[in-house]
Amino acid sequence: MRIKRTNRFPELFRAGLLSILALAAAKPGVPPAIASGRSFQAPETIEKLVDVGGYDLYFRIIPGQGPVILLESGGGMDSTQWTALAPLLSRETGATVVAYDRAGYGKSDLPETKYDLHEDTEALWRGLRQLGLDRDLILVGHSYGGFLIRFEAGEHSASVKGLVFVDPFTLELVDALGIEATDDKLGKLPFDASHPEKLTKYQRAEVRMTGAPGSNLGEKCAAARKVALPPHLPVRVITSGKDWLPPQDQKLWRESHERLTASIEGAKLIIAEQSDHMIPERQPDLVLSVVAEVVRLAK
């Protein structure tokens, strides 16, 4: 099963991975170079499967110089979310750009082990280390990917040089809603998981990530609260400018981003005026410019 693209706005807090991901939107964002009519030849993308400890993770790498931009996809999505944007980031920054499929998604293997935020992060780092890409990282995370890069930066503070949160799911939102209410909105799978033998690989990955039939949101949040971001990093938080949730939820969503930004010294909040939750598709040019700014500041 793959995420289907429809003409509807994102469905409210679609379940899976705490994925606030919607069955996304009208059409993918048009890369700026294409939209303006300028010619652009995409650099070569290297695809690799890396054994990270009993299973393989799939990486898409555009080689470059200097820092490494690591792209974390939104919940329920894989590295193909960044297919249009990654080459433009490579061209604009000259950096190495890496996207990958989380365990069970896309071309990555689905491990038999229970999901664990710390262990899955360490598996990613084992893969990055084997590729020689575990230093001088700029982490970019959309939605649930934003939750992940915050944890990754805390766990591997010596490796991370900058952060870009793109309409992220946050601990601040959980604090505002409470675990149970957040779980009610985010933790319901959109399919019947009572017959595991009938589930697709994608569905089994969703079950693993959400902890169904129970929930591991509390475990994820408890683990995330134990780490702190390294100081003095350039940090940008991009928040959706168009409503995509009921008014009260939208208010809490924006406030959670404001609180996240205020909690990080020197961080800046940027409003994606033309975007709902799917900012990488709606305004790829904005994401491109913000990431490029953080790369420059990190140098």
Q: Which amino acid type is present at position 75? A: G
Three-class HEC string of 249-299: HHHHHHHHHHHHHHCCCCCEEEEECCCCCCHHHHCHHHHHHHHHHHHHHHC
Q: How far, CA to CA in Å, does 276 sit from each of 11, 82, 95, 171, 177?
A: 12, 17, 28, 20, 21
249 contacts: CB under 8 Å, gap ≥ 6: 12, 13, 185
pLDDT at res. 171: 97
Distance CA 119, CA 115 (A): 8
pLDDT per residue rounded down to tens, the chain (299 residues)? 233 333 333 333 443 333 344 333 333 444 444 444 445 676 799 999 999 999 999 999 999 999 999 999 999 999 999 999 999 999 999 999 999 999 999 999 999 999 999 999 999 999 999 999 999 999 999 999 999 999 999 999 999 999 999 999 999 999 999 988 888 877 778 899 999 999 999 999 999 998 877 778 999 999 999 999 999 999 999 999 999 999 999 999 999 999 999 999 999 999 999 999 999 999 999 999 999 999 999 98
Look up the CATH number of domain 32-298: 3.40.50.1820
pLDDT at res. 284: 97
43 contacts: CB under 8 Å, gap ≥ 6: 62, 63, 87, 90, 91
CB 68 within 8 A of CB 39: no
Structure tokens at 9: 């706005």
Structure tokens at 276: 């709902």
Distance CA 36, CA 117 (A): 41
